[in-house]
Chains A and B, each alone.
Chain A
Amino acid sequence: MFGITQHITIDYDETYHSLDDYQGNVPRWCPGCGDNAILTSVQRLCRDEQLPPEKTVFVSGIGCSSRFPHYMKTYGFHGLHGRALPIAQGVKIRRPDLHVFVNMGDGDCCSIGTAHWIHAIRYNMNLVALMHDNEVYGLTKMQASPTSPRGMKTNTTPKGTVLQPLNPLTTTLGVSNVSFVAQVAEWMPDFLYEVIKAAYHHHGFAFVRILQRCPHYTPNIFDPFITNPDNVVLLTHEKGMPVRDELKKVYKNSIEHDPSDLHRAREIASMSDKIPVGILYQNEDIECYDELRRKTRACTHSMREQALEHEFSKFIIEPVTENGKSH
């Protein structure tokens, strides 16, 4: 199909991929970087789902988090600042056989690539988008990000940021065709894994905001939530994700939230003093752009020739025949 030879699929069932099969270069992130936890969760997901490494693509933007694909042993596309989403969409549009993940930082997603983020939600293509949100520009050495809390001092805001931060959850939930929105934190590794897994299994565009510490520039930014688990709100529901009992012991603050309730999801997303974690919204009935625009049939040479001839006939001039008339 799609001009792709088939025989490479023969061995799939016989090959077992271990974690090693997904581990690429040794990460060059700083010790203590939250990205490591995300990487581990994703590698675990790949192994548990036995994703063929050659059929799996990680597309990223620019920033610390966007080094992610280099540390996987799948296909990767470390592209341009802000442009991971349209590149990933291009990868997917004619390759439904590929599993495509997108890694973006908060600068990528919420600043330079915002237009793509909004439209990616609307396209609702079958992609998993992981937004590594450390609320700061790290690789460029500490500048304010759209998600930096108000008053945060950075190199570009020495007196503190003057604006309220952008809320990626309410923003995503406000866009037409939104189909999956979740939030999780890197310091909850098992839950992080569960959320990414749910995102992977979602039909449509899955957007996961991952709160992530930068050990250099925002090491303490999430302290209120780490030191006091009561500031974290677990979203539980029979239609939502299973939450293990051990987790419930630590995070005692949980609310029942039906992920199909968009209105309630927006209310939860608007919390300012606490952080909700889990699936805020999920709707698998939204149509997907890649499926709406999918190729309906293969095109042979003779079909192409016929189609061209049909078009040429609209513009044709034939030689005049003997009786003086055109054909």
Chain B
Amino acid sequence: MIAIRWRVFSLLQQFEQLLRRKKLSHGHQIKGTGSMNTDHPHAESETGSIDKKFITLREHIVEIVSDAGEGAQKAAQAFGTISAKMGNGIWTVEIIPAEIQPPPRNAAGASGNRIRVGSFHITNAGDEADLVFAFNEQVLLGRVSSKNLKPDATILLDNKWRTHKDPAIVKAYTETYDQLLAEGHTIYEVPMEQECLKYVSNPQRGKNMFALGVLCNIYKRDMDIARAHVEFIWQKKGEKVVTDNLNLLNAGYEWAEQNLDFQYEIPSAGITDPQIVVNGNTAIALGVMASGMEVCAMYPITPATSASHYLSEIFENVGGVVHQAEDEIAAVAFAVGASYAGKCAITITSGPGMSLKTEVLGLASMAEIPLVVVNVQRGGPSTGLPTKVEQGDLLAALYSTHGDAPKIVMAPATIEDCFYSIITARKIAETFRMPVYVLSDANLATGQQPFPKPKFNEDWVAPPLDLSPLPEGARPYDWDPKTGLSRRFIPGQAGGMHTLTGLAHDRESKVAYEPWINQDACKHRSLKLAAFQRTLKAPQVFGDPDGGDLLLVGWGSTKGAIEEAVTRARKDGLSVSSLHLKFLQPMASGIGDILKKFKKVLTVEINFSDDPQEEIITEENRRYANLAWLLRARYLVDVDCFSNVHGQPIKPGSIEAMIHRQLEAVPSAV
């Protein structure tokens, strides 16, 4: 039905197009667009079309920003998916205000997405944006002031504010417009309101699909794919809504076709195998489903919760349950209870939640209860930057519990990794009877990137519980003297009755009253980490494994940006490589040897470190970034760090610039 309607619509459009063909000067401002029925001063003869500059690009970074609730995110996600379906490499990342509905026309309230589209595999959100589509000038200013746009970035701007009835708004709009123009931006004003009113009564709710249409034209997107996707995203809302949105999409496309004097092409290599496009939180939820875990206990917290939203939708299909507990502590305690009863469980949270869970997590280490803990890191400390990225919880993950509480800490580096990390974490947790922390972050949580569709493997799922009766004399903590490993007894298992306790305890789980027992128990719990460490392989050096002038070390979501920067710098002939750590605790053997092959080692992290240039900062009081501390402590290597807490993904360009600065300082460097 819809396809037929489109054809009719398309014919109408072509007819109108013939009436309206026009040419624009290369001026920055489109001076009015004319409605369908009026001739435009710049109209060309009906046979010609607007002179378009066709430019082929290797990649482009596009941002769509609006007030919250205007749907820029939906449009941007659709643009990303359409591009991915065409075989382009993409990375999308959300621009999210901290509030649900912040005041409109507010620079801090920008809501939308950044989409990096390229003709190659894209691993990060890239540098400054090349083109931005803004629904008002204030959200645009937000992106300018946070230095997210190239100095000459092309701007598409809703022009409804130019004729607003409030003179203050008109003034703000025109001033911003003039200022950005003067700064060297190319600005195209888009009569979104006027155009959308032709199809819907409330343009506020339709603009986003119009904007999508404009972008589809600019980037020569396959409109069959675009229409199919728009149908898909609105199908639940009924036929009328689907039709309206398809009309808006087409209208945007046609408007751009007739009014914009440029068009880009980003060739795609295409894809050979089926892929899925999801964000990191969705990947985590899918990973939980795939891992065979049955219980997820959580408490709402940004930016982790969307993983639990999606899991709540799908988990019951595989017999699972998402329990929204009364607080973070209850959530982790509930998960610990379920795990103790043989159903390995997961709790999903963000920094503040992890802080609250700390005591229970210490119990899990002490009592050797397997547990998967996902921390989708956000800016801290305290409430910090709830919607923004940071990697500030690494040391907290390792050390926040009182006493010696061994645990495994791993960090996914890509969206795909988010999926597989959960499966791996469940296995490790059960094998080594300890909590496994998976440190994701806001960048992965909301970033989308295609990856090969996983092929289900029965090994992902926990084997059925062995509840066969235990032989007489079996001990619940019968630590293997070499590895510290022991068999877990599950309630229901005859002969295994014992009382698990968070008190220091012996092999029979009896409270320790002898002085040597606690030492012995701590030793065996620690040995498990060593036993696990022996199974890890050293990560591969990206660049030159034989060494060189500079080694960058990263962990988590920064992998793509670091490796891109290293690639660029190596093209410039610089001797720089990088190393990315998946396991932060324990760390694989061989890392120390790698570090020692480089003249300088430096971590790249999104967390706080002191600036050594500060007047009172010296080597005796300088506080390093999280991973730098760990590497310095373990390997006795002078590891420097490059870190900030801007709450934004680190851009490859800023890492690249840092590499250049560093190597200028290294005497032997070119």
Contact = CB atoms under 8 A, between A and B. Distances in A.
A293 B341 CA distance: 17
Contacts of A318: 274
B86 to A, nearest CB: 8
A209 interface: no
B338 A77 contact: no
B292 interface: yes
Contacts of A87: 333-334, 336-337, 340
A76 B337 CA distance: 11
A284 interface: no
B495 A54 contact: yes
A83 B329 contact: yes
A285 interface: no
A77 B493 CA distance: 15
Question: Closest 9 interchain pairs by CB?
Answer: A90-B337, A76-B499, A86-B333, A90-B334, A86-B330, A87-B337, A90-B338, A78-B501, A119-B326
Contacts of A55: 491-492
Nearest to B270: A320
Interface of A: 3-5, 7-8, 24-25, 52-55, 57-59, 69-70, 72-80, 83, 85-95, 97-98, 115-116, 118-119, 293, 295-299, 301, 303-305, 307-312, 315-320, 325-326
A5 B511 contact: no
9 contacts: A4-B464, A4-B467, A8-B492, A52-B494, A59-B337, A93-B334, A304-B456, A315-B276, A320-B270
B273 A304 contact: no
A193 to B, nearest CB: 23
B321 A304 contact: no
Contacts of A4: 342, 464-465, 467, 492
B502 A316 contact: no
B347 to A, nearest CB: 10
Interface in B505-520: 510-511
Given A3-B464, A86-B329, A326 B337 contact: no
B461 A301 contact: yes
Interface string B76-91: 0000010011010000
Most buried by A among B337, B360, B454: B337
B183 interface: no
B498 A95 contact: no
A293 B333 contact: no
A326 B225 contact: yes
Contacts of B495: 54
Given A54-B491, A312-B453, A95 B342 contact: yes
Given A70-B501, A293-B321, A91 B340 contact: yes
Interface in B312-367: 314, 316-319, 321, 323, 325-327, 329-331, 333-343, 345, 359-360, 363
Given A90-B333, A326-B85, A295 B500 contact: no
Given A53-B497, A79-B502, A316-B453, A90 B336 contact: yes
A34 to B, nearest CB: 21
A300 to B, nearest CB: 10
Interface stretch (B46-54, B282-290, B582-590): B282-290
Contact of A311 (B274, B286, B331): B286
Contact of B271 (A3, A54, A77, A319): A319
Nearest to A119: B326
Nearest to A304: B318
A316 B275 contact: yes
Contacts of A74: 497
Interface of B: 81, 84-85, 87, 224-225, 270-278, 282, 286, 289-290, 292, 294-295, 297, 314, 316-319, 321, 323, 325-327, 329-331, 333-343, 345, 359-360, 363, 450, 453-454, 456, 458, 461, 464-469, 491-503, 510-511
A8 B502 contact: no
A94 to B, nearest CB: 5
B331 to A, nearest CB: 8
Contact of B321 (A115, A116, A295, A325): A295
B340 A115 contact: no
A118 to B, nearest CB: 8
Contacts of A298: 319
Contacts of A95: 341-343, 491-492
A231 to B, nearest CB: 36
A276 B340 CA distance: 37
Contacts of B327: 115
Given A8-B493, A55-B491, A312-B276, A91 B338 contact: yes
A205 to B, nearest CB: 14
A242 B345 CA distance: 43
A310 B341 CA distance: 30
Given A8-B492, A70-B501, 16 more contacts: A8-B494, A53-B497, A54-B493, A54-B494, A69-B499, A75-B498, A78-B503, A79-B336, A90-B334, A91-B491, A98-B341, A297-B319, A308-B290, A315-B277, A317-B450, A326-B225
Contacts of B492: 4, 8, 54-55, 95, 97-98
Nearest to B453: A312
A172 to B, nearest CB: 16
A326 B273 CA distance: 12
A8 B341 contact: no
Contacts of A317: 81, 84-85, 271, 274-277, 450
B337 A91 contact: yes
Contacts of A59: 337
B467 A94 contact: no
B333 A83 contact: yes
Contacts of A301: 456, 458, 461
A74 B500 CA distance: 11
Contacts of B345: 90
A88 B343 CA distance: 13
Contacts of A92: 337, 341
Nearest to B464: A3
Contacts of A316: 274-276, 453
B295 A303 contact: no
A301 B289 CA distance: 11
Contact of A80 (B270, B277, B360, B497): B360
A110 to B, nearest CB: 16
Nearest to A116: B330
Nearest to A8: B494
A307 B314 contact: yes
A218 B492 CA distance: 38
B341 A91 contact: yes
B195 to A, nearest CB: 29
Contacts of A78: 499-503
A304 B333 contact: no
B297 A80 contact: no
B467 A8 contact: yes
Contacts of B466: 5
A307 B289 contact: yes
A320 B88 CA distance: 12
A325 B224 CA distance: 9
B468 A7 contact: yes
Contacts of A319: 270-274
A80 to B, nearest CB: 6
A208 B393 CA distance: 42
Contacts of B282: 315
Which of B224, B345, B461, B468 is packed against the most chain A CB atoms within 10 Å?
B461
A316 B494 CA distance: 47
Given A53-B497, A54-B492, A75-B497, A80 B275 contact: no
Contacts of A293: 321, 323
Contact of B363 (A25, A52, A80): A80
A305 to B, nearest CB: 4
Nearest to A84: B333
Contact of B341 (A94, A297, A320): A94
A90 B501 contact: no
